[in-house]
Amino acid sequence: MAIVDFQNCFILIMLCFVSFLCYSLLFKKPKESRAGFDPPPSPPSLPIIGHLHLLLSSLPHKSFRKLSSKYGPILSLRIFNVPVVVISSASLAHEIFTTHDLNISSHGHPAIDESLFFGSFSFLLAPYGDYWKFTKKLLVTKLLGPQSLDRLRSARSDELERFQANLLDKVIKNETVEIAKEAIKLTNNSICRMIMGSSCVEENGEAERVRELVNDSFSLFKKYFMAQLLRKPLQKFGISLFRKELMSHSSKFGELLERIIAQHEEKLDYRDGADMIDVFLAAYRDENAEYRITRHHIKSLFVDLILGGTDTSAQAMEWTMAEIVNNSNVFDRLRGEIDSVVGKSRLIQETDLPNLPYLQAVVKEGLRLHPPSPLLLRKFIQGCNVGGFYIPKNTTLLVTGYDVMRDHDSWEDPDEFKPERFLASSTREEEEIKEKTLKYLPFGSGRRSCPGVNLAYIFVGTAIGVMVQCFDWRINGDKVNMEESVAGLTLNMAHPLRCTPVARNLNLNFKSADVI
Ligand code: HEM
């Protein structure tokens, strides 16, 4: 995928090659340095493009792994004239996210200011300032914190039943299931319902249109990584990557969201905070709010939540399920735990999760070995020292979470799927697990870490729970092929997991009867 994206913009890059050479020679700035501290080691680079060629492999996290085994856990790279530092060890990642958290509290710059995707109203790309702080508080206290999540539990529970019913339908039709496709339906439907409320889904059918737009937008999201890295050099020539596609999707989303917001306003029930748009509207209307958000902020936040939460959670479900299918001992232990806690007469629910420690450990281990976001992208606001090296201000930071969570110095048998490592039977083990969580980065770390972590654990835990509770799974061959592919910033299975469900003999009572 990344290679194809590059080919699309390769001619463009070559066209600016000569002009860029002139630019570099004429306007090159002297390097910022600090006496006594060297820059991190750097592999040999090519003229003009620097180390760009190293990022164009289909698996950038694997290329970084190779480089760091040769040059060490902190590397200095250059993409044209954009400096990048890559961190790949658990101890340096820990230093970065504890000592320098404030200094790296930015995810980078907007791609196109006015776009709803990665524009200047985006929460994901907002600098650490008033808007980000206000919205983060709103997300934590009113939307994605444990108590706020309870309010919208019923919508998720309906979608979980629908997920189970869809799988059962495949059994009846004797069809195989592409796990990622079913998973994405589940996460997409659930997030849409949490944001827009069930009334919108049922009465206006807008949710279906949103779902279609979201699916179309994923390919765009995956180009974001390339666009982010090349944005600055190309901007000097007035070139904005993927501008047309971004703006076209942005305006389609904009129109749709305007209608949905207007419908919510007509009902005037936003004070009750019934769904996420109600909460945003209440903040929008609040004249005494610490920050006055606009309608554009609401729409942009909607896009961030959908794109941030849908694909990531679905990828986690697919990878974790693949590990479970490959490890029959894990499957049996999980099934045993669910049967003894939940029983056979009702479907697993999210309120069961705290009583299912092994299921929680399986989900954590799936995310450790296969983090949906294997690379964390930040920016150094100020120059600083890391690991004894000097990093100049405005350097882009790439933390390879993938490597950090497979670091031999921090994890025993790091390449093996061992959920037990997250189970504690003594206080000492509890302490060890706490220590490990500092090196556990599927959701990033520090103030810019993922605010959707609670929801993500609910999504993945309940989906895996349903698949193990209700079905046996058959695959072609002995083992699932675990080969990886990377699209943009997301770690995917190169061969999507396909398996055939066989229904267990259960006697489940459902909350709602007509879920298909
Ligand atoms: C398994 C599922 C998920 C994974 C692996 C994941 C991972 C991540 C990661 C790695 C980051 C960047 C963190 C950093 O830079 O340190 C992030 C940020 C973010 N995630 Fe998630 N995420 C998941 C689910 C969700 C969900 C369900 C939502 C909400 C519906 C969500 C919303 C966001 C938002 C809004 C940000 C931006 C935070 C900021 O800029 O301050 N994520 N996520």
Choice from 94, 360, 443 to test ligand 1 binding pocket (greatest atom count within 8 A of CB):
443
Closest listed residue to residue 189, CA positions, set 205, 170, 208, 203: 208
> How far is the C-alpha of 494 from the C-alpha of 305, rounded, in Å?
26
Domain-embedded: residue 516: no
Residue 309 lies in a domain: yes
List CB contacts of 384: < 8 A, sequence separation 6 or more. Answer: 100, 103, 390, 391
Both tokens of residue 138? 């709103």
Between the CA of 309 and the centroid of ligand 1 the distance, in Å, is 7
Our answer on whether the CB atom of 275 is closer than 6 Å to any ligand 1 atom is no
pLDDT at 123: 92
CA dihedral 510, 513, 514, 516 (to 10 degrees): 30
**How many Å lie between the centroid of ligand 1 and the Cα of residue 380?**
20
User: If 0-12 CB within 10 Å is exposed, 13-18 middle and 19+ buried, where does residue 213 land?
Assistant: middle
For residue 333, the tally of other CB atoms under 10 A from its CB is 18
At 267, list the tokens: 């009902």
Report yes or no on 372 lying in a domain.
yes
Q: Poorest-confidence range of 148-162, 201-215, 298-312?
A: 201-215
Quickly tell me which residue has 């959701």 as its tokens: 443
Question: 376 CB under 6 A from ligand 1?
Answer: yes
**Host domain of residue 179:** 35-503
- CB under 8 Å to 198, separation ≥6 — which residues? 155, 158
- Please tell me if the CB atom of residue 191 comes closer than 6 angstroms to any atom of ligand 1: yes
Does some domain include residue 269?
yes
What CATH number does residue 105 fall under? 1.10.630.10
The DSSP symbol for 112 reads S
Spacing, Cα 147 to ligand 1 middle (Å): 19
**AA letter at 221:** F
Indicate which atom in ligand 1 lies nearest the CA of residue 457: 1
Distance 115 CA to ligand 1 centre (A): 20
Number of residues in the chain: 516
| Residue 455 Cα distances to 29, 139, 417, 438, angstroms | 45, 12, 23, 20
Query: Residue 511 domain-assigned?
Result: no
| Under 8 Å between Cβ of 472 and 502 | yes
Backbone angles phi, psi at 375, to 5 degrees: -120, 135
Q: What is the pLDDT of residue 133?
A: 96
Say if ligand 1 is within 6 A of residue 500 CB: no
Per-chain mean pLDDT for the chain:
84
Cβ burial of 14 (10 Å; 0-12, 13-18, 19+) is exposed
Distance 249 CA to ligand 1 centre (A): 21
Distances, alpha carbon 212 to alpha carbons 117, 190, 192, 207, 250, in Å: 16, 14, 11, 9, 14
Answer whether residue 72 shows pLDDT above 90: yes
372 lines ligand 1 (CB under 6 A): yes
Which of 217-226, 294-303, 369-378 is predicted least confidently? 217-226
Q: Which long-range contacts (CB under 8 A, 24 or more apart) does 454-457 make?
A: 454/144, 454/145, 454/146, 454/149, 455/144, 455/149, 455/309, 455/313, 456/309, 456/312, 456/313, 456/316, 457/353, 457/360, 457/363
Helices (H), 173-205: 179-196, 198-199
Please give the number of the atom of ligand 1 that sits closest to the Cα of 126.
40
- Name the packing angle between helices 206-235 and 295-326 (round to 10°): 100
107 lines ligand 1 (CB under 6 A): yes
Mean pLDDT for the stretch of residues 218-238: 66
- Domain-located, residue 291: yes
Residue-wise pLDDT for 81-130, tens only, equals 889 999 999 999 999 999 999 999 998 777 677 788 778 888 998 999 99
Per-residue model confidence (pLDDT) at position 268: 61
pLDDT digits (tens, 9 = 90+) for 355-389: 999 999 999 999 999 999 999 999 999 999 999 99
* DSSP bridge partners of 379: 106, 396
Q: What are phi and psi of 178, to 5 degrees?
A: -90, 105
Q: pLDDT class for 340, splitting at 50, 70, 90?
A: very high
Check pocket membership of 450 for ligand 1, CB cut-off 6 A: yes
Integer Cα distance of 131 and 481 in angstroms: 44
Predicted local distance difference test score (pLDDT) of residue 118: 74
Tell me the mean pLDDT in the region 261-273.
Answer: 69
Residues annotated within a binding site: 450
Residue 204 structure tokens: 């206006």
Interacting residues of 142 by C-beta distance below 8 A, sequence separation 6+: 148, 273, 279
Distance between Cα 103 and ligand 1 center (Å): 19
- d(CA 303, ligand 1 centre) in Å: 13
Longest CA–CA separation in the chain, Å: 76
Mean pLDDT of 134-162: 91
Cβ 184 vs Cβ 314: under 8 Å: yes
Residue 484: inside a domain, yes or no?
A: yes
Identify the DSSP state of 193: H
| Three-point CA angle 146, 159, 457, nearest 5° | 35
Centroid of ligand 1 to alpha carbon of 310 (angstroms): 10
Check if 399 has its Cβ closer than 6 Å to any atom of ligand 1. Answer: no
> Is 449 or 79 the better-scoring residue by pLDDT?
449
108 pocket-lining for ligand 1 (C-beta < 6 Å) = no
Mutational pocket test of ligand 1: of 117, 139, 312, the residue with most ligand atoms within 8 Å of the beta carbon: 312
Q: Whose CA is nearest to atom 17 of ligand 1?
A: 450
40 lines ligand 1 (CB under 6 A): no
Is the Cβ–Cβ distance between 474 and 360 less than 8 Å?
no
What pLDDT, on the 0 to 100 scale, is given for residue 94?
Answer: 92
143 in any annotated domain: yes
- 434 pLDDT exceeds 90? no
CA distance 258 to 78: 41
CB 378 within 8 A of CB 107: yes
Q: Which atom of ligand 1 is nearest to the CA of 301?
A: 35
Token pair listed for 164:
């189970």
Q: What's the confidence (pLDDT) of residue 30?
A: 42
441 Cα to the center of ligand 1, angstroms: 11
**Token output for 348:** 């697993």
**For residue 276, what pLDDT is reported?**
84
- Count of structural domains, the chain: 1
Residue numbers belonging to the annotated binding site for heme: 450
Is the CB of 366 inside a 6 Å radius of any atom of ligand 1?
Answer: no
